[in-house]
Amino acid sequence: MTQGRTLRQALVQEGIADLTGLWPVAQVEAWNQRIDPLFAATEDQARSYVGADQLVETGIFQDVFSEPVRRLIAGIEPSALLYHCHCYEIAAAQHKPHIHQNWLHGWHRDRETLRGFSPAAPKFVSIFILLSPVGDDDGPFEFTPRSPHQGLRSGDQIVRLVGPVGTAAIWNRSYYHRAAPNRGPRRRRILKISFQPAELANDRIGLDEFRAARSRLDDPRLQALVDQRRVGTTDPLAEERQAVTARIPPCTHRNDLTGAASAYGRLQAVGHKLLSSALAGS
Ligand SMILES: O=C(O)CCC(=O)C(=O)O
């Protein structure tokens, strides 16, 4: 555990920090009761979603973005604008990851973050809150907590996000991560938030789910988080910025990549680095 590091610093260095406890378990269980009926209609699908507008309708959005959470976000990115805000479920009894399943065992960096990646600032950040309990076989989120420019190596130490409902982590989307296969008997449910500086291109904030979410919110501080008109601007949110001390989750596992796959991963990392440098100069 690193002492005294802020979340912003941890997101640059290890790329991940623990947020468990920020949303009380009883509150998360109450969210589940509200969205169970929404997910019931789609439980035969490989992946299913409850969008930002539905999260506003059920009051979950307002709970998630409480004042302390908004201050924590502003402490990481003063002009934060949302990029993702939804709950999703992935199917049970799978042998492969639900995303990028035929590529490096699912390990990837989020493509839309590569152009703006900076090794000095966390620009593309996600938060995961577990809405179903996740054990080793339940499709846990896995994360490589070191600079993505070093590429992937076979047997690298990784963080695995397992735990009861309410377990939560914040992570840098430009780092290597994956969903392990959900081999278990139940659908895995997560609440996902992503934010980024408002000035950056944002191809999701104009989606109907965000427009509807904004129109249903009364509080201007909540509206600002989903306001498409802020794209391209640098004005900070109205929140006081809070620099929260980071808790770095331990590495408990190693990846199962073969030497050949990791060599390919390193080549890919060199390519990404060259691309970032070229785009930074363009
Ligand atoms: O569902 C997961 O555990 C990982 C999803 C993922 O790769 C992503 O959000 O970029």
Q: Give per-residue pLDDT as tens, 147-158.
A: 998 888 999 999
How far is ligand 1, taken at its centre, from the CA of residue 133, in Å?
A: 16
- pLDDT value at position 272? 78
What is the token pair recorded at 172?
A: 């840098």
How far is ligand 1, taken at its centre, from the CA of residue 180, in Å?
A: 9
Mean of all residue pLDDT scores within the chain: 94
Q: Give per-residue pLDDT as tens, 71-85.
A: 999 999 999 999 999
How far is ligand 1, taken at its centre, from the CA of residue 218, in Å?
A: 31
Residue of minimum CA distance from atom 2 in ligand 1: 179
What percent of the chain shows pLDDT beyond 90?
A: 85
Residue of minimum CA distance from atom 6 in ligand 1: 178
Are the beta carbons of 79 and 199 closer than 8 angstroms? Answer: yes
Residue of minimum CA distance from atom 10 in ligand 1: 110
- pLDDT value at position 261? 81
Among 178, 183, 187, 194, say which to mutate for ligand 1: greatest number of ligand atoms within 8 Å of CB. 178
- pLDDT value at position 2? 44
Greater pLDDT, 161 or 270:
161
Residues touching ligand 1 (Cβ under 6 Å) are 99, 110, 141, 177-179
Q: Give per-residue pLDDT as tens, 256-273.
A: 998 888 887 778 778 877
Q: Which CATH number fits domain 7-257: 3.40.50.720, 2.40.37.10, 3.30.565.10, 2.60.120.620?
A: 2.60.120.620
Q: Give per-residue pLDDT as tens, 229-263.
A: 999 999 999 999 999 999 999 999 999 998 888 88
Q: Give per-residue pLDDT as tens, 88-131.
A: 999 999 999 999 988 899 999 999 999 999 999 999 999 999 99
Tell me the average pLDDT across 206-214.
98
Q: Is 60 exceeded by the pLDDT of residue 3?
A: no
- pLDDT value at position 137? 98
Domain definitions of the chain by residue range: 7-257
Residue of minimum CA distance from atom 7 in ligand 1: 178
